[in-house]
Amino acid sequence: MANQSEPGSASSTTDDLKLYRWAAWAIPPDNICKRVKKVMEALREEFGGPEIKPHITVAGSCLFTRSDAIERFTHACGSVNPIVYQVDQLETSKFYFQCVSLVFKTEDEFTRETGIFASRMHCSSANMPHLSLIFGDYTDEEKKRAEEIVKSVDEELCTMIFTVTRMQLYKINFEDKTQKSWELFYESTLRHQINN
């Protein structure tokens, strides 16, 4: 288990009693992230918007103290096998954070593993697992143009299958739509597959 961003030791006990909002992200393998970033860059070149780290929200908007969040997150990672993600479609939405996204198939095994993870975090699992390619409030015409850009840069992105073994815990702030203040707090790998 790799702790990438542990809180500073100067934090007081009082600070650890504060409640913060958290999200657990599934991080695609490096080769998939490179492909996704290339598409994201093409979309930002056309439309602007914040830079996004490729991720899939598995549990979001959880309210915990810092120590509780880390404890629940590490327990969740130790309870779940690597998760297979299969892109179902490229979809547009009216929601800022899901404006243009890759939406994943929710097969039985996928739903079971993500459900276990979310329950260990004491959060609701994402009802539409997706990987956002751009954030924003765009017209239908702009979203159609965005879909064309995605397919012209990497059409096979819309049929990808990959396995996630790495999760990250973020302290989040929905008021910051740029995500610049969102803080990576902890990173861990999922447990190895156990054959019964």
Give the pLDDT of residue 127: 64
> Of 55, 75, 122, 192, which residue is the catalytic one?
55
> 55 catalytic, yes or no?
yes
Give the pLDDT of residue 195: 47
CA dihedral 97→136→84→74, nearest 10 degrees, is: -40
**What does the domain layout of the chain look like in residue ranges?**
20-189
The pLDDT tens digits of the residues spanning 85-103 come to 999 999 998 888 888 999 9
> Of 75, 122, 130, 192, which residue is the catalytic one?
130
> 75 catalytic, yes or no?
no
User: What's the pLDDT band for 8 if we cut at 50, 70, 90?
Assistant: very low
Side chain identity at residue 47, one-letter code: F
User: What's the pLDDT band for 138 if we cut at 50, 70, 90?
Assistant: very high
How far, CA to CA in Å, does 144 sit from each of 47, 51, 93, 94, 139? 12, 20, 11, 13, 9
How far, CA to CA in Å, does 182 sit from each of 29, 56, 121, 171, 192? 21, 15, 19, 6, 29
- As a whole number, the mean pLDDT across the chain is 87
Backbone angles phi, psi at 31, to 5 degrees: -65, -35
Q: Which CATH number fits domain 20-189: 3.90.1140.10, 3.30.1050.10, 3.40.50.20, 3.40.50.300?
A: 3.90.1140.10
pTM: 0.85
The pLDDT tens digits of the residues spanning 159-187 come to 999 999 999 999 988 788 777 888 999 99
Alpha-carbon gap, residue 88 to 10, rounded angstroms:
45
